[in-house]
Amino acid sequence: MKLTVLGKYGPFPKVNGATSSYLLKIGGKNVLIDCGAGAFSRLTTLIKPEEIDVIFLSHFHFDHTSDMGVLIYYYQSLFAKGHTKKPVVFCPDDGGALVDSVINCPYFDVNLVRGGEISMFDDIDFEFFEMRHPVQSVGVKISRGGKVFAYTGDTNICDGLNDLFAGSNLVLADGAFLCKDWNQNLPHLSVEYIVELSKKYGNRSIISHINPKYDEEELQKAVENTNCEIAQEGKSYSL
């Protein structure tokens, strides 16, 4: 199982950066996790878009789904030439302007999901968790062969986080704020809270959805001597 960071920023990228998007290679399959601004071109440096097997969209805010429109155009051109393979899409059914474009797309096999549900693709398990965000947002555990990867999507503190972290080997987590700027009414977690959860459950955590206004050195200091690290675009993480 290998995770590659295509984009790590939110709600907008730094210069030459991209917003939330990740490629998970698992059991010989390619799982695209969110598809934010700049994701499509970076994806094509790793695989052909037609090699995507599964797309998981945590929610429909633009910084997580804007390049889905570009991906739809790409698949439109493929199908015009006789391509027939449809990637499976797991996504919520509410939460933004792109919802209808995705769930009604004839080139995708769309499965609408909510927290508490479990789906399978071949021998890969997908377990979904309700997160806390201004729109419907779903976290996921993706597991195969005893190894478990988890992704929070966008969320603040909620009950589902404990279930998501428990039993996971590697967690990709929303850390949009440092503790000094965080409060319970915001739509995202703090870096320091992710560190606490990782210590509690013994996970390795990659902190993403980075606020582009932060100095990277300040973020790095917040995870020093912990089992957490700040996501780096283009870097791959194996488990």
Encode pLDDT of 111-129 as tens digits: 999 999 999 999 999 999 9
**Local confidence band at 96 (pLDDT 50, 70, 90 cut-offs):** confident
The closest of 11, 8, 43, 47 to 29, measured between CA atoms, is 47
Report the chain's terminal Cα–Cα distance, integer Å.
6
What are φ and ψ of residue 216, in 5° steps?
A: -60, -35
**Local confidence band at 10 (pLDDT 50, 70, 90 cut-offs):** very high
For residue 109, the tally of other CB atoms under 10 A from its CB is: 14
CA distance 53 to 121: 9
Residue spans per domain, the chain: 2-238
Give the pair of three-digit tokens for residue 49.
Answer: 């878009």
What does 74-117 look like in DSSP terms, one character per residue?
A: HHHHHHHTT-----EEEE-S-SSTTHHHHHT-TTSEEEE--TT-
Determine what percent of the chain is predicted with pLDDT higher than 70.
100
What are φ and ψ of residue 4, in 5° steps?
A: -120, 130
Reported as a single tens digit per residue, the pLDDT across 22-62 is 999 999 999 999 999 999 999 999 999 999 999 999 999 99
Q: Which CATH class is domain 2-238?
A: alpha beta
pTM of the prediction? 0.97
Mean pLDDT over residues 173-188, rounded? 97
CA distance 208 to 162: 18
Mean pLDDT over residues 166-191, rounded? 97
Reported as a single tens digit per residue, the pLDDT across 227-236 is 999 999 999 9
Does 95 have pLDDT greater than 90? no
Q: What is residue 94's predicted lDDT score, i.e. its pLDDT?
A: 84
Give the pair of three-digit tokens for residue 106.
Answer: 């004839």
Determine what percent of the chain is predicted with pLDDT higher than 90.
97
3-state secondary structure of 173: strand
Does 190 have pLDDT greater than 80? yes
What are φ and ψ of residue 67, in 5° steps?
A: -80, 0
Amino acid at 131: M
**How does the average pLDDT of the chain come out, rounded?**
97
